[in-house]
Chains A and B, each alone.
Chain A
């Protein structure tokens, strides 16, 4: 059973001469235990695809089903709740709240979603894996870009979501860290049975992917399958 599926999704922005057809009949499925990598150049529609899959944007046509229920059947409040409970966004623009320490970033999640988050031990494991365990009392302004990105990744994983949507998660990281993040995402898919979807330019993540897709001019094509398993 797929965690989510995208069926015949089209996205058109603007009207008349200003009309831009960003996504063309996109079909996609993400299953628990797989890491799907969607690669493509800037402007190819990757971000729009991720916004639609995450329930932030309603497609012009087509449907997106999460756990068998279409977004169209969910209210805005229900979509918020779904993102909070089941979808972890790892964003390129991580924008950590500047007045919260790293520890407080997780406390905020506890305040909003008191149950179902990672245990203290599991969080410690994630922090250790990401190499940010000693940064708990630091404010974002005291961290480097790479450290902030890793904190953002940990924050996205903390609610223990079933689906992880990552937008250029390795943009600010060196190759060593990219390998660590790649392994972490892969472990989340394989060991923790999550559906992980990564959109990126970064070819260094290809080795971590189970399925590789290419997005070009709004068309999503399967580049290869079962890449590294």
Chain B
């Protein structure tokens, strides 16, 4: 540590360049991770808020709630652990506001999804044509009592409550009554809902034409969800590898320049472990410094970023990413170690 600190103090510009690289990479990784988390959350916020374990859909719906219709027979008897949901895509239209794409979820008042809605303002839906909507509507200027039309429906719907973090497949959710769902989908006979969600991990619906999936299976089939996550994971992974290469290259060059000095120290009996420790300490100090600055930048970003940008700053996840970067730096720092260990002190005898 002594050698590492002294070298960083003396070589401020060189160390500063390495730290600047780590800051940029760290900041980029933190922001990408936050974006990936934010988008993932906006895909699944609503489903996660239900605390559902199993979801039954029409077996021909390709595990997509929007494509699923269940008949009364397929739904069967529901216990207190189950709730029927009707999903459809809608566009909210009001004269004084711009159009807003949303996901309409029809609920039954006596089932747990309705009863567990955690509102931040207003009250739950009690009548037809009433809606509880995601706070994204608030950001667009909608208020309690605001009225608007959904799709081509002639009826006006009124906002009676706001709910936070209610998004499905990035779109804000509007919760209404099951009858309104039927109306929006122009259903008069047959289907009674899109999906049965259950909090019971052992729930199974064996009705003909229905199939039960785990929540994760349904989430994974959300349009674009896996492709988006894979893209982010790939980018973050690549940045991790790039950070490893940068650290390794910088430390390798720095270490190669110091080998004659290290050879003298080895000739004087300084153990290899002291020199190895100095190299690893140096890489850890530089990376930790870089990560601290990157974290500060990320905190500032989280502070000033507009609310409609889908970013989620999850401290445990970002902490894990930071530790990942540190591990990469340690691996990068280990690459020049072989040269340090094998430095030949005889090379400095004889000038």
Contact = CB atoms under 8 A, between A and B. Distances in A.
A84 B269 contact: yes
Given A97-B3, A108-B2, A54 B267 contact: yes
Contacts of A104: 6
A120 interface: no
A54 B345 CA distance: 10
B264 A81 contact: no
A112 B1 CA distance: 12
Contact of B261 (A50, A56, A88, A98): A98
Interface string A189-212: 000000000000000000000000
A12 to B, nearest CB: 15
A83 B346 contact: no
Pairs of residues from A and B, 5 with the lowest C-beta to C-beta distance, nearest first: A84-B269, A47-B350, A83-B269, A99-B10, A92-B351
21 contacts: A46-B350, A47-B350, A50-B350, A54-B267, A56-B267, A56-B349, A82-B269, A84-B268, A91-B351, A92-B351, A93-B260, A95-B260, A97-B258, A100-B3, A107-B2, A108-B2, A111-B2, A139-B10, A156-B268, A167-B349, A167-B350
Contacts of B268: 83-84, 88-89, 156
Q: Number of contact residues on B: which range applies?
A: 20 to 34
B274 interface: yes
Interface of B: 2-3, 6-7, 9-11, 258, 260-261, 263-271, 274, 345-346, 348-351
Given A83-B269, A91-B349, 12 more contacts: A56-B267, A84-B268, A84-B271, A89-B268, A91-B348, A93-B260, A93-B264, A95-B260, A95-B263, A100-B10, A112-B274, A167-B351
Nearest to A47: B350
Interface string A58-96: 000000000000000000010011111101110111111
B87 to A, nearest CB: 65
A130 interface: no
A62 B238 CA distance: 56
Nearest to B7: A99
Contacts of A107: 2
Nearest to A86: B269
Contacts of A97: 3, 6, 258, 261, 265
B126 to A, nearest CB: 74
